[in-house]
Every structure is written in C-alpha cells, then in structure tokens.
Structure 1
C-alpha cells in the first residue's frame, strides 16, 4: 500500500470517528446521580496501556502509545511511523438508596488521537476526548392531603441533567540531551450543559413549575509536561514525570427559563464566571529489561478555588493516586500468549463535588492486556475496571460500576523513503 493510500484511509477513518464521537456523546451515556452536579463526571485522557494500569501515566513514555496526560511523552516516537489510537467503552452501574435498587448500562466512544514525528527527537500529537458528561434523571412522587374535603393532590417532581464538555488537544514535545523531554498541550474545551427541574400537581390550583438552565461553555488553555529519563546498565530504566496546568476561565453564556402556571419567564443574561483549576501531577516509572514496568502517579486539582456560577465555595479540591504494573513474559517467543502484555492497577481519587457531609471518594481495580495484532506493530488494548463510589454516610446513593474499555493503536510506516534503481 502506498503512503498516499495509507494517509487517505487514515483521514477517512478520522472523519468517520469524529462524526461518531460527536453523535454518541450527544446522547446520554451515563446515568450516575452524581453527574448532575457542576460540570458532571470528569474524565482524564488516559489512553493505551495506562487504562488497565489504574490510570498511571505521568512517568510513562513509549513510541507505541499516545499519552496526553503528559505531553512530554510525545518525543518518544519512531521517526518512520504514524500512530493512531481510538477507544470505546461500555459500563454497567448498580445503584442503591435504602431499599431501592437501580441498574443502568451505557456506552461511548472515549477518544481518538494521533501521533507522528516532526524530527528524530521531536513529536506531535492531537486528538479529541470527552472531558465531562452529564446524564441524570431522577423523579419522585407523593400525595398531599386535600383541603376542606377536597380530594388528595398528587405531585410529581423530577431532576435531570444532560450534555457535557469535549476537549480538543494539539501537543508537541522535544527531547534534549537524551535524558530530558519538555512538552506542551493546547486544549480547547467546548460543550453545552443542561439542568432541568420540574414540579407538577394533579390539581391546577397548585402552582407547578419547570426550570431550565442551559450553559454554553468554551475555553482555551495550556498544560505543560516534563519527563526525565535515565537508563542504568542495560536492563534498568527510570522515568520521572511532572505536569502543570494553569487555572483558566471559560467563555460562558447562560440561558435560564422558568415556567410557572403556563407563563414563560426568561431570565436576563447574567455575567456568571466559570473556570477550571490549577492542577499538577507527579509520576514515576521503572522498567526492567523492557518486560516489567511499574508506575505510580499523584495528581492534585485545586477545584476549591475554581469559579462555578461566580462562586469559589461550590467545589472541592481533589487528589488522585494511581498505581500500575505491566508484564511481558518474553519479547520473542514461539507462543502468542508469551508476547501479550498483562496489566493491572489501582486508583483512589476524590470527587470535586462539595457536599456538606463530606467528599465522595472513588476506588477502582483495573486489569487487562495488550494484544499484538498478527504481523503488525499495532496493538489491541483490552481493560476491565471494577469500582465503587465511597460516600460520607448511608444516606447517599451507593454506586458500584463495572467498565470494559477496548482501544486499538494502529502503528503504520508512513515516512520511509523509497529507493529506486
């Protein structure tokens, strides 16, 4: 296949994935009750091997994967190849509130991204991923006693949220002195968030209402990455990684409508302020003989000082700890199972939702494998996650979830110069 044909097919695939991504993400693919708050459930751009390694990413660098979590990793690139990665996932969630039980299933296209060389020590990456997602529908009903001999009045109230934010990124990094890499990502976040509350009565004498807030948010910001890597002897390699992102305001537009007794009221545009926080991450990885890798991450996000509806006391700062391991039985082997990369990980994190009773926490176990495709350098990555939301007390809705992620990293030769006699 010629280089032109390969590039044409890649561009066609990217166009199809873009349409699919925007179409799927316009639908509700999460039903978590905690997605109703703030910007919804937040997602980190964890890709490739990191998904099954508990999300540990800051200290990982590989020519075979794309790692937007630390843009300094882009300089780990084969000068002859083009790397394309896309991922989809499905999740099953169980909910429990006292004697009530719920079960929901969702799916989504998580991301697609590409990476290619600009020179021997200079790489570039770009892609699109889901930054946050809202998808919540909760209802309750009851009966009010009638007045002066009238019939009882039934009421129904509902709370729902939908929409989300996507993140387009373009990043580059350069390697210096064969031991240091510096990188930068430009991010463009965009999307719409919708929150709706309704209350209706069976008796028209009671005042029902419907409220809707629709947020249009846009933002451009940068994050920076650094990796220091050192090989000791022939078999030992250490990588130390760090990232930093500055706080940044959103460009926002808020449309609020209220309907009371069939009367529509449109609130005047308000100059609310929204922002994302200062954040930083630190990571370390150790690789032995290119067969065993252990990685650990720590991340902090200062959401307590980020603005939401112009307030800085609405959200809570978060911390995340991730630990992952990858094992390759043999680099060259007679049996396929010996060249599969086996992975496992653990992640513990806080929620940025600020409840008076205390913060939510999330803990999850991951495991999976990197399956090399026959006759190619491309890899099929499979990851499973079992997680639980830990609440301050039993009055909160309890949530357990099970997630499966499937991603494919296509590694194709694009830049080889052909020789002719």
Structure 2
C-alpha cells in the first residue's frame, strides 16, 4: 500500500508541475519556442542516444521499443509494467557583447506508463514538446528602454504508443500524439517626454495562440547477436509533417508600470479584430523528422552507438510567427554515446550494478538569426541506481548531467552556457504474474 501511495503522490506532483513548464531561453522568442523534448533522462545522459532497447526503461523516441520478448536472462519471465517520471533543473549564463546574466528554470519533463501484453506493448503519457519563456528589451539611442518583449507557454504532447515484436530480431511501432498548449506574449513600446522621462501611461500589445492538433511517429528496431558476445542494435523513426490549428487573440492595453517592482497594471483594454485580417484562426505546420542509428555492445555489460536526426524545419510556417531578422533552415542532430555496467547481477558490490552513461550531442537547431545558424552542443553523463526489491529487481533511479552551449555572440546575439541536472524514476512491477507453489 505504501508503494502505491508513493506512486500516486509522484503522479499528482508531476501533473501539478505540468502546467508550470517553462524555459529561460531568449531563443524561445522565435517560432513556437525551443525544443524541450529530447528523450528520457537515460537517453539524454548518453548524448540523446535513443537506439538502445531493453525491458525496464521506456524509450519515448521509438515506439517499436514497446514490443518485446520475455526476459531470457531472468528465468524467461514476462517484461514488467514500467512507470516513469522525470524532471530537470537548468542554470544558464546568458552572455552577449554588452554583458552577462544568469537565469534558472526547474521543469517537469515527462510522465508515462508502459504495459506489455505478450509480444505487444502499449505506452501512454504526457510530456512537454516546446517551451517559451523570455523577457527581452531593446534600448533607444540615449540608452533608455525602447521595446520590451515577454512570452511564456509552449506545446505539449499526450501520446498513445504501441509496439509489436514481429520476429526475434525486428519490432515495429507507432505513436499517436495529441499536441496542445498555448503561447502568450506581450510587447510594450515605451514613450518618453521631452526630458527623456517615461510617461506615466504606456501601451501594451497582448497576443495569445491556443494550439491543438494530431501527429504520428512510426519506428522500427532491429537487434541480433553478431558474435557470441556482441549484439547489434539499430533504430529508425519517421514522423511526417502535420498541421496544428492555432486560435489567436489580440488585445491592446493602457498600463501603468510600477517603477519599483516593474509590475504592470492595466487601466483599459481593447480587443483587437483579428477576424478582419483573417488571422483569428490559422494553421501551423510541424515539420517532418527522420532519425536512424546503430550501435554494438555486450548485453547487460556495455553499449556504444551513434544516431543522426534530420528535421525539415524549413517547412515551419505560420503568419503569426514571421519574426524580423529570423528564418528557419533544416535542423539536424548527431548523438554519440553509450553505457557501462561493471556487473549487473553482483551480490557483493552495490556499485557494480550501477549503470554509468555518457555521450556527446551536436545540434543545428534550424533557427537562423541575422544569417547566423543557432547551434547547440552538449556533453552528458549520468548514472542509473538500482532501487528494486528481490522479487522486482528492475526499478532504478537515474541522475543525469549535461554541460552545453547554445547560440553565439556574433551579430550581437546571445550565447547560452548551461548546466542541466536531470532526475527520473523508472519503477517496474509485475501485474499479471501468477504465484507459483512447489
């Protein structure tokens, strides 16, 4: 009963945190925000590598991994039901040619459950896909604030997945995603008197877009022993482009800004007429994405591989998200990583059963500002700590760290130097086993 209460508490805490998803990146000003979802903590601790398949972790990036066979190394027992929840904390230094600042953000990353049914497996859950969170200011010729931009929100996914083990070596699967969320932003154009003092009343433009739509992701996974000890694993996924419906609102407010706290108090608000310009409801295109990779390793001992992902970000389009000075080009990511387990079934040393992970990530985000491609680089490492019981030894807690950089100071842009700490629980249990008696 205690374990069940703990699980309920974790789930409720994650759902409560779900609505507070945010980021502190100025690059989330563009498009529908920065890409938040890059896999589980286990994936991200290997540089984003998601080609590895096992029976005790959920792989969000490839639905084919939900299907599988019984666990041969554990008396041919059925795969366990897996519940996982994850979150992260990021500390970022924002550096420009004019100075630096530091921001922090703590976020919920995912909540999911997978259920095996023979060779078939199902999964469902919630996760944030993009995140918007920024406060940007520009100055006029005398150094006073000219324009202030503020935004929050993002796009989330509720997913239902299914995977099937076609043969002992090949599995296939599909994700059906419902995408939803909203983006809110405001712009204040500051006005001053003849003495360059801000006027008591300023004008603010408020915008909100409520997004919703469906998308798919299909996957294949192949694995086989190529020698007595070495196993090959390879992965392929494809997500076709899809359209999201965007219901938009715009209003204009007269506001008073508290000079001490910066709080904005509306005096009068007037609704904008987007219907007259055909912008009350628009369509947004999510670009298609393909990924493939392969790696080799010794089962339950070590694994190393690489994965390449390409996304047609140049397909992204929406008349409300055409930002001056920015365009979108095709994005790509190269992940290199793996793991090592000293002795997975050791009875003499707890730390020999710990999973040690590491990897590198090289990413072109697809965003281009002032002819500068915004790129991202990360070095990741982490550990998986066993927390199971004798009857169910497969549960684990995963801690990951990533040190990385996004953007550049060229063309008066901002470079982000970040440190991310990630934590997840992967809790496994057997729901359908019958007790055996001698």
Settle same-fold status: TM greater than 0.5: yes
Aligned 8 A contact 1:48 1:67 in 2 = no
CA distance in 1, matches of 2:401, 2:238: 29
1:16 counterpart residue number? 12
Do structure 1's residue 104 and structure 2's residue 103 form an aligned pair?
yes
SS of corresponding position for 2:399? strand
1:66 counterpart residue number? 58
CA distance in 1, matches of 2:69, 2:12: 26
2:75 counterpart residue number? none
**Residue deviations 1:10-29, cap 9 Å, x none?**
8734751453233332xxx3
CA distance in 2, matches of 1:323, 1:391: 23
1:275 counterpart residue number? 285
CA distance in 2, matches of 1:189, 1:87: 19
Do structure 1's residue 165 and structure 2's residue 131 form an aligned pair?
no
Do structure 1's residue 403 and structure 2's residue 420 form an aligned pair?
yes
SS of corresponding position for 1:351? strand
1:76 counterpart residue number? 68
Aligned 8 A contact 1:343 1:369 in 2 = yes
The alignment's C-alpha RMSD in Å is 2.6
Aligned 8 A contact 2:311 2:332 in 1 = yes
Q: How far has the Cα of 1:210 moved from its partner? A: 1.6
Q: How far has the Cα of 1:419 moved from its partner? A: 5.1
Aligned 8 A contact 2:377 2:406 in 1 = yes
- Structure 2 counterpart of 1:355, from 364, 369, 387: 369
2:191 counterpart residue number? 201
- Structure 2 counterpart of 1:212, from 206, 211, 227: 206
CA distance in 2, matches of 1:266, 1:158: 20
SS of corresponding position for 1:256? strand
1:41 counterpart residue number? 34
1:319 counterpart residue number? 332
For residues 6-405 of structure 1, what are the structure 2 equivalents within 5 Å?
Answer: 9=5, 12-13=8-9, 15-25=11-21, 29-57=22-50, 59-76=51-68, 79=78, 81-119=80-118, 121-142=119-140, 156-203=146-193, 209-259=203-253, 264-269=270-275, 270=279, 271-309=281-319, 314-333=327-346, 334-373=348-387, 375=389, 376-391=393-408, 393=410, 395-405=412-422
Question: Judging changes above 3 Å, is the alpha-carbon distance between structure 1 residues 187 and 17 closer, same or farther for their aligned structure 2 residues?
Answer: farther
CA distance in 2, matches of 1:136, 1:194: 11
Range with bigger deviation, 286-295 or 9-18: 9-18
Aligned 8 A contact 1:308 1:314 in 2 = no
Q: How far has the Cα of 1:134 moved from its partner? A: 0.5
**Residue deviations 1:355-399, cap 9 Å, x none?**
232210000000111111153321111100000114272521111
**Residue deviations 1:309-364, cap 9 Å, x none?**
27899422100000111011112331122111111100011123232322100000
Question: Judging changes above 3 Å, is the alpha-carbon distance between structure 1 residues 223 and 374 closer, same or farther for their aligned structure 2 residues?
Answer: closer
Aligned 8 A contact 1:143 1:155 in 2 = no
CA distance in 1, matches of 2:311, 2:403: 24
SS of corresponding position for 1:61? coil
Question: Judging changes above 3 Å, is the alpha-carbon distance between structure 1 residues 310 and 154 closer, same or farther for their aligned structure 2 residues?
Answer: closer
Question: Judging changes above 3 Å, is the alpha-carbon distance between structure 1 residues 256 and 124 closer, same or farther for their aligned structure 2 residues?
Answer: same
Alignment coverage as a number of residue pairs: 404
SS of corresponding position for 2:352? helix
Aligned 8 A contact 2:287 2:315 in 1 = yes
Q: How far has the Cα of 1:39 moved from its partner? A: 0.7
CA distance in 2, matches of 1:172, 1:11: 23
TM-score (norm 2): 0.85
SS of corresponding position for 1:272? strand
Q: How far has the Cα of 1:43 moved from its partner? A: 2.1
Aligned 8 A contact 2:49 2:306 in 1 = yes
Aligned 8 A contact 1:304 1:317 in 2 = yes
CA distance in 1, matches of 2:17, 2:92: 22
2:74 counterpart residue number? none
Aligned 8 A contact 2:244 2:284 in 1 = yes
Q: How far has the Cα of 1:178 moved from its partner? A: 0.9
Question: Judging changes above 3 Å, is the alpha-carbon distance between structure 1 residues 143 and 259 closer, same or farther for their aligned structure 2 residues?
Answer: farther
